[in-house]
């Protein structure tokens, strides 16, 4: 498990954590890239949106290996969000607006995504 303070600089700890995972489970370079982008987005969202950069709050990243999949759970201490009603960042009138891109990328790059605890936890799964 990786435990991070809710500071945007903490996102830098994701890559070394993931490199250990990739080495242990022999993840392909393509899958590594998808995991890195998705996990970085999830941690950044948890820090900025979930915990609102409150350094007294933490973000937890847990790894679970299931048969041919790696599942990463990212949890924050926020109240969650309406993950079923996000703006589509690919709509022409949304291209220059913030919001929705991180979840959009996670959905596009992962094999499965699930929101738990009213959205304060996201589980992203990748086939390996």
Determine the pLDDT at residue 94: 67
Calpha distance 14→105 (Å, rounded): 17
Give, for all 128 residues of the chain, the pLDDT tens digit: 999 999 999 999 999 999 999 999 999 999 999 999 999 999 999 999 999 999 999 999 999 999 999 999 999 999 999 888 877 777 777 667 666 788 999 999 999 999 999 999 999 999 99
CB 59 within 8 A of CB 75: yes
Helical ranges in the chain per DSSP H? 14-25, 29-45, 101-109
Domains and CATH numbers, the chain: 2-127 (3.30.565.10)
Determine the pLDDT at residue 83: 86
């Amino acid at each position: 498990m990786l435990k991070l303070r809710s500071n945007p600089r903490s996102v830098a700890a994701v890559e070394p954590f993931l490199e250990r995972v990739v080495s242990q489970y022999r993840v392909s370079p393509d899958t590594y890239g998808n995991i890195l982008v998705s996990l970085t987005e999830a941690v950044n969202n948890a820090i900025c949106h979930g915990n609102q950069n409150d350094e007294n709050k933490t973000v937890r990243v847990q790894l679970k290996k299931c048969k041919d999949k790696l599942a990463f759970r990212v949890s924050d201490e926020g109240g969650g969000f309406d993950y079923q009603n996000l703006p589509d960042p690919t709509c022409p009138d949304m291209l220059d607006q913030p919001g929705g891109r991180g979840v959009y990328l996670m959905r596009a790059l992962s094999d499965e995504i699930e929101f738990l605890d009213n959205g304060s936890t996201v589980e992203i799964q990748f086939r390996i």
